[in-house]
C-alpha cells in the first residue's frame, strides 16, 4: 500500500483528492492536514510514503517540505497547487519536493503521480515544465556554474538529463531515446555521480538551471 497524506487548507479540495485516490486499491489515505504545522506533525505521527501539499496553505507549504524532508526522509512530497510560477516551482524542488502538480490535474494523472512519486520519480505537470522552459529562455542560457557541472556528461547522458528535467519516468525516457530501461537507469546513476546530485530531483533542477530545456 502507498500511504498518503493530503494537506490543504480547503476542506473541499482535501475531500476531492481523497475521493479520487480512494478509487485505487493500492493507495491508503492515512492522514489529512489543513496547515503546514499539521502536515509536518502528521508525517511524524504516521508512516507516510507520499505527502500531497498545497504550497500556499497557512504556515507555508515550502517550509513544510523542508521540515518533512528533514524529519521524515522516506516521505516523497508532491505540491498540488493552483500556482505554477517558476519561482515557486524551483523553491519547492530545492526544498526537497519530488513533484509539482496543478489543481486541475485529472484523476488518472493524479493517481499515476502518486505512484511515481512513491517510486522515487520526479513528477512535474506539463504546464509547469513549459513555464520553467519559457522562463529559462527569457533569461538566456543557464548559469556558468550549472553549465560547468554538466560539462563532463556524455551526449547520451545529456539527452537523459534533459528528459529527466521534463518530469518523464525512466520508462518514458527509454521510449523517447530508444534505450532499455536498464540503460536509462545506468545513465541516471552516472549523471548523479558526475554532477554531484544526491537524487533525480536535484538533477532535474540542474537541467533547468543549465539551460538544457531551452
Question: Can you tell me the distance from the alpha carbon of 122 to that of 145, in angstroms, rounded to the nearest whole number?
Answer: 23
More confident residue, 82 or 186: 186
Q: Of 142, 139, 143, 135, nearest to 211 (Cα)? A: 142
Phi, psi of 30, deg, nearest 5: -95, -20
Mean pLDDT of all residues belonging to the chain: 87
In the predicted structure, residue 209 carries a pLDDT above the cut 90: no
Q: What pLDDT band is residue 94 in, cutting at 50, 70 and 90? A: confident
Q: Of 106, 95, 55, 96, nearest to 76 (Cα)? A: 96
| pLDDT at site 1 | 93
| pLDDT at site 168 | 85
Q: What percent of the chain has pLDDT over 90?
A: 57
The domains found in the chain, sorted by start residue, are 2-131 (3.40.50.2300), 141-209 (1.10.10.10)
> Greatest CA span in the chain, whole angstroms?
49
Query: Residue 32's beta-bridge partner residues?
Result: 6
CA pseudo-torsion sign 127, 129, 131, 137: negative
Reported pTM: 0.73
Phi, psi of 100, deg, nearest 5: -150, 110
| pLDDT at site 137 | 47
DSSP label at residue 5: E
In the predicted structure, residue 73 carries a pLDDT above the cut 80: yes
Q: What pLDDT band is residue 87 in, cutting at 50, 70 and 90? A: confident
User: For the segment 29-43, what is each residue's pLDDT rounded down to a tens digit?
Assistant: 999 999 999 999 999
In the predicted structure, residue 52 carries a pLDDT above the cut 90: yes
User: For the segment 99-151, what is each residue's pLDDT rounded down to a tens digit?
Assistant: 889 888 899 999 999 999 998 888 888 777 666 655 554 554 456 788 889 99
| pLDDT at site 82 | 80
Rounded to an integer, the average pLDDT of 181-202 is 90
Question: Can you tell me the distance from the alpha carbon of 120 to that of 114, in angstroms, rounded to the nearest whole number?
Answer: 10
Question: CA dihedral defined by 113, 119, 120, 123, rounded to 10 degrees?
Answer: -10
| pLDDT at site 173 | 93
| pLDDT at site 156 | 96
Amino acid at each position: 500500500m502507498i500511504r498518503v497524506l493530503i494537506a490543504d487548507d480547503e476542506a473541499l479540495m482535501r475531500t476531492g483528492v481523497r475521493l479520487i485516490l480512494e478509487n485505487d486499491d493500492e493507495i491508503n489515505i492515512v492522514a489529512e492536514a489543513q496547515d503546514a504545522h499539521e502536515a509536518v506533525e502528521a508525517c511524524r505521527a504516521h508512516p507516510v510514503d507520499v505527502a500531497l501539499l498545497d504550497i500556499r496553505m497557512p504556515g507555508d507549504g515550502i517550509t513544510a517540505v523542508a521540515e518533512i524532508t528533514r524529519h521524515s526522509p522516506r516521505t516523497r512530497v508532491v505540491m498540488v497547487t493552483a500556482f505554477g510560477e517558476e519561482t515557486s516551482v524551483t523553491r519547492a524542488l530545492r526544498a526537497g519536493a519530488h513533484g509539482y502538480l496543478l489543481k486541475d490535474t485529472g484523476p488518472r494523472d493524479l493517481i499515476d503521480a502518486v505512484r511515481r512519486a512513491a517510486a522515487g520519480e520526479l513528477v512535474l505537470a506539463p504546464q509547469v515544465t513549459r513555464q520553467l522552459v519559457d522562463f529559462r529562455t527569457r533569461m538566456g542560457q543557464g548559469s556558468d556554474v550549472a553549465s560547468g557541472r554538466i560539462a563532463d556528461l556524455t551526449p547520451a547522458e545529456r539527452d537523459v538529463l534533459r528528459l529527466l528535467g521534463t518530469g518523464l519516468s525512466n520508462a518514458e525516457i527509454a521510449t523517447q531515446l530508444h534505450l532499455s530501461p536498464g540503460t536509462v537507469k545506468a545513465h541516471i546513476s552516472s549523471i548523479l555521480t558526475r554532477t554531484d546530485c544526491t537524487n533525480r530531483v536535484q538533477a532535474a533542477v540542474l537541467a533547468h538551471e543549465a539551460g538544457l530545456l531551452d
